[in-house]
Structure 1
Amino acid sequence: MRRTRLKVCCIRSEAEAAMAVAAGADAVGLVGEMPTGPGVIPDTDVREIAATVPAPISPWLLTAEDEADTILDHAERCAVTTVQLVRHIAPEVHDHLAERAPWLRRVQVIHVEGDDALDVVAAYGERPHTFLLDSGRPSVAELGGTGRVHDWDVSARIVAAAPRPVFLAGGLNPGNVAEAIRTVRPFGLDLCSGIRRQNRLAEDLLTAFVGAIATTDAELSLT
C-alpha cells in the first residue's frame, strides 16, 4: 500500500516533537539560524529536542550554512545525523561532505520558482540523499517557511525525473494535502505553518492533515 511520508517542521519544544511523533511523523524539522522564516531556535535547543526523538523517527536540522566545514560543524554542534540544506549549495559541497562525513544524511532543498528548478535538480544528480521542494526565493535570501504554494505541475515533473526521493513543502494544509498528493505524487510531505495557530503546533490540524494523507493514500492504492 502506498504511504506518503511526513515531516513536521518548525518544531520548537520537546512537547511539540512528542506531538508530531505521536501523530505518526517520520521526521521532525528543527530550524537553525536563518535570514528569514519561522521556527528558528537556538542550537542548544535543537540538540536537546533532537535527543528526545525516538528511533526510527529522524530529527532534521535546517541549516543555512553552505560550505562543507560549516555544515558539518553545525550538524556536530546539534548532534544530528540529517541536515536539510536550505540554500542551493554548490554540488561539489555534497561530494566533500560525502567523503568527510558519510554518516551525515543530506536533504537538498530546491526552491521552485519556475521550470529552471528542473535544471537545478539535474545539476545535483544523485549527490543528495533526498530532495525537498519548497517555495523560497534564494535571490532575496528567502529560504523557506513562506506558507506559499508553488507550481505543483513543475514539482510533479521533478518527482518524475529526480534520481532521489522527493519531499514536497510550501503552503500545505489539511485542505489541500489530498490535491498535493494526487498532483505531485511525492515520496513525502513537509509542513510548518499549515498546522499551527499563533505559532503553536495545533493538534487538531495535525490530526486532520495526517488523516487526509491516509485517506488519499488508500484511495490511490486502489487505482
Structure 2
Amino acid sequence: MTRVKICGLTTESDLELVVGAGVDAVGIIVDVPVETPREVSVDRAAELADAVPPFATSVLVTMPDTVDRTVHVADAVEPDVLQLHGEFGVDELADIRERTGRSLVLAVDADEASNARRYDGTVDAFLVDTPAEDGGGGTGRTHDWGRTRSVAANLESPVILAGGLTPENVDAAVDAVDPFAVDVASGVEVEGGVKDGDAVRSFVEHAKHSYGTEASPQP
C-alpha cells in the first residue's frame, strides 16, 4: 500500500485533520529561502512536531545553507525524519545523519533525478519533485512520471513522488511510478497553508487504494 505524506502543516487543527484522514507522515516547513505560506518558525515547528501522535511520522522539511544550521534546526524541532532540499555532498549528508540521529529524505529535481544514485545508501529515501526556478519544490506541477519510474527502479532507497499531485490524479501517478509514498501540499488546500478536509480525505483514499502494479499514461 502506498504511503501518504501531507506537507505544509501550520496549525494543530489541520494536523488533527490529516492524521484523522489516515496519513502516514506530516511535513512541517522551516528555514527555506523561498516565499511560501506554509513555512513556520522553528518554535512553531517544534510545537507541531510535538503534537504529532504515535504511529504518525513528523517530517521537518528544510533548505538550510550549512550542515551546522541543519543540525541546529533539527535539534530544536526534534522531528522523526529530516527532509532536506538544497545542495549537500555525500559526506555532508552522512555527517547530518550521524549528528542528528534521524532518517534523511533527500529532495531531488525530477529533471535530474538520475543524479540520486550517488547518494543511494547515504540517505534513507528520495523525494522526487518538480523543480522551481528558485531551487525549491512546491510548484504544483507534475513531471515525467515514466522517467521517474525508471529512476526509482535503479535505486535501492525508496522513492517518494511529489509534484502537482491531487485527489484527481494520484491514482494515475501511483500506477505510473509505483512509489513508496506520495507527497502533497497545495493539491489538498483551500488556500496557501490551509488544508481542505474533503480533498485530504479523497487524496488519502485514492492513494492508498492504488497499487502501482503497472504503468499508466500520464494525464
TM-score past 0.5 threshold: yes
Name the counterpart of 2:23: 25
Are positions 1:147 and 2:140 aligned together? yes
RMSD: 1.7
Q: Sequence identity of aligned pairs in percent?
A: 29
Name the counterpart of 2:217: none
Q: Deviations over 1:111-147 (max 9, x none)?
A: 112xx421x111112100111101124xx43311110
Name the counterpart of 1:42: 41
Name the CA distance, whole Å, in 1 between partners of 2:45 and 2:180: 25
Name the CA distance, whole Å, in 1 between partners of 2:99 and 2:143: 35
TM-score normalised by L of structure 1: 0.89
Q: Which runs of 5+ in 1 are unaligned?
A: none
User: Is the contact between residue 88 and residue 108 of structure 1 (CA under 8 Å) also seen in structure 2?
Assistant: no
Give the secondary-structure state (helix, strand or coil) at the position aligned to 1:7.
Answer: strand
Are positions 1:207 and 2:166 aligned together? no
Question: Segments of 4+ in structure 1 off by > 4 A?
Answer: none
Note the C-alpha offset of 1:65: 1.3
Name the CA distance, whole Å, in 2 between partners of 1:64 and 1:90: 14
User: Is the contact between residue 109 and residue 131 of structure 1 (CA under 8 Å) also seen in structure 2?
Assistant: yes
- Bigger CA drift: 25-34 or 72-81? 72-81
Q: Which runs of 5+ in 2 are unaligned?
A: 215-219
Name the CA distance, whole Å, in 2 between partners of 1:78 and 1:154: 35
Q: Deviations over 1:156-179 (max 9, x none)?
A: 012111111110000000111011
Name the counterpart of 1:128: 123
Q: Deviations over 1:78-136 (max 9, x none)?
A: 122311101131111122123333x21111001112xx421x11111210011110112
Q: Which amino acid aligns with 1:10?
A: G
Q: How does 1:1-223 map to 2 (within 5 A)?
A: 3-38=1-36, 39-101=38-100, 103-113=101-111, 116-118=112-114, 120-137=115-132, 140-199=133-192, 200-217=194-211, 220=213
